[in-house]
Structure 1
Amino acid sequence: MDLIAVLGNCTILFIIKTEPSLHEPMYYFLSTLAMSDLGLSLSTLPTMLRIFLFDAPEISSNACFAQEFFIHGFSVLESSVLLIMSFDRFLAIHNPLRYTSILTTVRVAQIGIVFSFKSMLLVLPFPFPLRSLRYCKKNSYCLPLLLSPPVMKLACSDNRIDVIYGFFGALCLMVDFILIAVSYILILKTLLGIASKKEQLKALNTCVSHICAVIIFYLPIINLAVVHRFARHVSPIINVLMANVLLLVPPLMNPIVYCIKTKQIRVRVVAKLCQQKI
């Protein structure tokens, strides 16, 4: 699944880069989303290959901490990009005449750089307190710690700082989700002011891919958080399964959703495939 996700996201990036007609703010943000998905897939790919090719499920603590850093960094980046894309859709629907003048190429690049640094700085301190803990057992799994802290439970020493930091990271993701919900409330309010139902449906159709991406990303996070908070005696297999869904499904499904629901990308992907076949 990781390899398929890598291929899909590389395809999205290639299409956007090589097609001048797609050099617009919406597609620039989509390419940033594809890069965060690509980073998320590459963060877990070495572990997947080691398990399936060499039957080596155990992972060293340092390797786990490094993997956690990149997983959480790209997850926070993806959450930020989904938030930016929601306000991008609001601006495009609310004020289409000034849309391109407000979101220039330079401004889009600046937004991407700021949120990339914000994502990395947010998770940068996380591996260091984990390394300072003393562990009683070897770890054979390395799940997302912000929402399901199995590695912390292996620690014999006091891990309250890590728990608090993990809660803070999860809270940041939930704030992004709330702001996305607010932006769609504003979008619906704007759409209700449009007289023609045909224009309403046309404007809403531009948001369908993004809505699907939001559901694909946040639904596993919310489910994992609820299970961890309220189902304390659930089987560890459930936690592992849900964490794998969180890591594997969004990078795999986002390129598929955008290829199916976005005509401009779908047409160009089909054209490239036909050209290769010829």
Structure 2
Amino acid sequence: MYHNNKSIFHPATFFLIGIPGLEEIHTWISLPFCSIYLVALLGNATILIVIKAEHSLREPMFYFLAILSTVDLALSTTSVPRMLGIFWFGAHEINFGGCVAQMFLIHAFTGMEAEVLMAMAFDLFVAICAPLHYTTILTSRVLMGIGVCIIIRPSLTIFPMIYLIYRLPFCQARIIAHSYCEHMGIAKLSCGNIHINAAYGLFVISLFFLNLVLIGISYVYILRAVFRLPSQEARLKALSTCGAHVAVLCVFYIPSLFSFLTHRFGHSIPHHVHILVANLYLVLPPSLNPIIYGVRTKQIRERIIYMFTKR
């Protein structure tokens, strides 16, 4: 069924397949995804509760960590419940507006996570390379500005995608070989010209990986400063902090890089492998980030142990 008048080419609903080729084992696939999602909810909620309850955790690092946990909760909740609905209840249909909204939220929250990781790298850079000026550089006003940029910049970058999707005619194609709605997955169903969509998608991805380049440059200076520290204990402590950041970066960027390269060049890779990695890319970082920081950050680790043993 199609809408009349101006939206005549827009289907009332899209049909999300889930993981193409693995439909018969969707129920089994759902079990690890559900478990990972519950870990993400529990872990990030714990991080937020600890940071709110412990007044000593009012440093910029924990401010950014709280934003990261909030974004992780939003990102996983935007994608996983819909995914589980497909796996468990066969809820394959999603209305056009809901699909575009999910597309926007997933891409925007992914961009926000990349921005938070860059902000955390900047915080670590200042802490190690300019420790005497740390409090004068990362003032409350600067932190507030960074927080606003983390939210506003990805949102403004992704917002044009909504217009780019609504301008396309979709004719009769409405089956998305995926478990969630994403920009090019929707655009490829169109019977119109999608060159602008493809070009803008590449622009957004270039901004996404520009953050990674800037983070890499900051780590060159960070590591150079770390190995110049006179005390071995100080070097080990700084490297331990860097290790937590690098682990979070790997968890976030490696699956996303694999998904991007597979989408563009990995035509020989089975489609279900690509979709599985694309799904893990949305659920693994939110579940592993709180574990990494909970284990590697002394203040959070001690506070969590105290919360569970104080009785």
CA distance in 2, matches of 1:48, 1:2: 11
- Pairing 1:226–2:273 present: no
Give a deviation string over 1:12-53, Cα, whole Å, max 9, x none.
111111101101011001111111111101211441342245
How far is 1:71 from its partner? 0.6
Change beyond 3 A, Cα 1:84–1:22: same
Is 1:217–2:217 an aligned residue pair? no
Does the 8 Å CA contact 2:83/2:179 hold for their aligned counterparts? no
Whether 1:34 and 2:34 are equivalent positions in the alignment is no
Deviation by residue 1:248-277 (Cα, 9 ceiling, x = unmatched): 1111110111111111111111211224xx
1:97 is aligned to 132
- Aligned residue in 1 for 2:110: 75
Deviation at 1:65, TM superposition (A): 1.0
Q: Could you tell which deviates more after superposition, 105-114 or 8-17?
A: 105-114
Q: Closer, same or farther in 2 for the Cα pair 1:116/1:165, shift >3 Å? A: same
Q: Report if aligned partners of 2:80, 2:283 keep a CA contact under 8 Å in 1.
A: no
User: Is 1:51 matched with 2:86?
Assistant: yes
CA distance in 1, matches of 2:181, 2:234: 42
Identity %: 38
Correspondence for 1:270 among 299, 305, 310: 305
Structure 2 partner of 1:167: 202
The answer to whether the 8 Å contact 2:50/2:304 transfers is yes
Pair member with larger Rg: 2
| Structure 2 counterparts to residues 100-249 of structure 1, below 5 A | 100-135=135-170, 136-140=172-176, 141=178, 143=180, 145=182, 149-249=184-284
**2:217 maps to amino acid:** V
| CA distance, structure 1, for counterparts of residue 95 and residue 63 of structure 2 | 37
Q: Which residue of structure 2 lines up, in the alignment, with residue 257 of structure 1?
A: 292
Answer whether contact 1:58 1:139 (CA < 8 A) is retained: no
Q: How far apart in 1 are the matches of 2:186 and 2:236?
A: 47
3-state SS of paired residue (2:267): coil
Q: Deviations over 1:214-273 (max 9, x none)?
A: 100000111112212222243221221111011111111101111111111111112112
Distance change >3 Å, CA 55–CA 142, structure 1 → 2: closer
Partners in 2 of 1:144 and 1:218 — Cα distance?
Answer: 20
Q: Residue 22 of structure 1 aligns to a residue in which SS? A: coil
Question: Which residue of the partner structure matches residue 47 of structure 2?
Answer: 12
Task: Report the TM-score when normalising by structure 1.
Answer: 0.92
CA RMSD after TM alignment: 1.7
Cα shift readout 1:73-93 (whole Å, capped 9, x = no counterpart): 111011011011111101101
The DSSP-based 3-state class of the residue aligned with 1:20 is: coil
- The letter for the 2-side match of 1:239 is H
Question: Counterpart amino acid of 1:42?
Answer: T
2:293 alignment partner AA: Y
**Could you tell me how far apart the structure 2 residues matched to 1:214 and 1:59 are?**
32
Unaligned 5+ segments in structure 2 are 1-35
Q: Alpha-carbon deviation of 1:197?
A: 2.4
TM-score, with length taken from structure 2: 0.83
Seen in structure 2, the aligned counterparts of structure 1 residues 142 and 134 have a Cα distance that, compared at 3 Å, is farther
